[in-house]
Amino acid sequence: MSRIVGARGFRLTAPGSPLAEYDFPPLDPAADQVVVEVAGCGVCHTDLGFAYDNVPTRHPLPLVLGHEIAGRVVAAGEKAQEWVGRSVIVPAVIPCGSCEACQAGRPTICRKQFMPGNDGDGGFASHAVVPARGLCAVPEALPPGLTLDMLAVVADAVTTPYEAILRAEVGVDDLVVVVGAGGIGGFGVQVAAAFGAVVVAIDVDDERLRLARSHGATLALNAKQMDIKAMKTSIRGLSRESGRGRVGLKIFEMSGTTAGQQTAFNLLDFGGYLAVVGFTPEKVELRLSNLMAFDATARGNWGCAPANYPKALALVLEGKVALEPFIERHPLDALPDLFAAAHRHEIKRRAIVGPLITSV
């Protein structure tokens, strides 16, 4: 076991306050922990909720945020030595593996789970201490155009929609509607297409819709320019043309906004399936009786089971899910300004920060 000194990062000290520089004490991993030298950490909407929207972290502040982590293991406890020197993706939700929920096959609702940047210090730092269980190994030789820091988004932005699409049993007979084609939805569109579905992307940003159309979406609709009735008409037309989704659309809310959630629910029709993937602390007024009247289904998912990470990563390594057009990279020292810009909705792509990233 090695003791890591000189680690640094940025902590949230109080909601609404700027992120503050932080020098870690020496990092000594426990027997079942590893120290990951962070290559990249993605900025998620959930992080902004902690910082600006009074969403409470489970570990008291101050806390280093960040749960989308990719990097290299540089130290490990005695029970995790096999990970030293390996490149990994850290699951955003790390279950305990032994509780009733885990044993019942529901690891994402494990009440003893560890979420970096929520249950303990996360990845907006040079190093992160995390449990060794559930780590996703990354090949040392990556395909051209991929780097380890870019794979940070696999920790949540790729795997969370992957889990939702897997649970919905999406396949070649399905018409999938993704509401919100941004930081998560842009990947959700690609995953659904990789599963064989015909995909509709809905957003309010023309550039995001252009990207979605170039990466898996057959139809792209701007919700600012169409009402629900017009969207339904377009989607039904595509269903008739493609022969997909005739016994019910599969709708994935990935915007994490009240408007997006309202749109997704209002698109439900007979036999429809609604997956809630995006997060907002705001409330939405809905007529839940629509679920009964349409014999429809609604389901959420909190992250992704670690066992499914290798399959989601494979889609990226095989080129079925593109990362580069949907991300932007920033040095770790730019994080405070980047957080503020993201809060002002000035960041259009999934931002990744890392101590070794020197330019956008």
**Both tokens of residue 79?**
């029970």
Q: Which residues pair with 131 in a beta bridge?
A: 33
Name the pTM for this structure: 0.96
pLDDT number for residue 316: 98
The DSSP letter of residue 337 is H
Could you check whether the bond before residue 29 is cis, i.e. omega within 30 degrees of 0? no
Give me the CATH topology for the region 159-300: Rossmann fold (3.40.50)
What ranges do the domains of the chain cover? 8-156+304-354, 159-300
33: nearest Cα among 121, 108, 150? 121
What CATH architecture does domain 8-156+304-354 belong to?
A: Alpha-Beta Complex (3.90)
Q: What is the pLDDT of residues 132-159, one digit of tens each?
A: 999 999 999 999 999 999 999 999 999 9
Percent share of the chain, pLDDT over 90: 94
- One-letter amino acid of 275: A
256: nearest Cα among 45, 27, 115, 31? 45
Task: State the pLDDT confidence band at 358, using cuts at 50, 70 and 90.
Answer: low
Average per-residue pLDDT for the chain: 96
Length of the chain: 360
The stretch 6-22 carries a mean pLDDT of: 95
Question: What's the CA gap between 37 and 56, in Å, rounded?
Answer: 27
Report CA-CA distances (Å) from 209 to 185, 190, 191, 219, 264.
10, 13, 16, 9, 16
Q: What is the pLDDT of residues 276-302, one digit of tens each?
A: 999 888 999 999 999 999 999 999 999
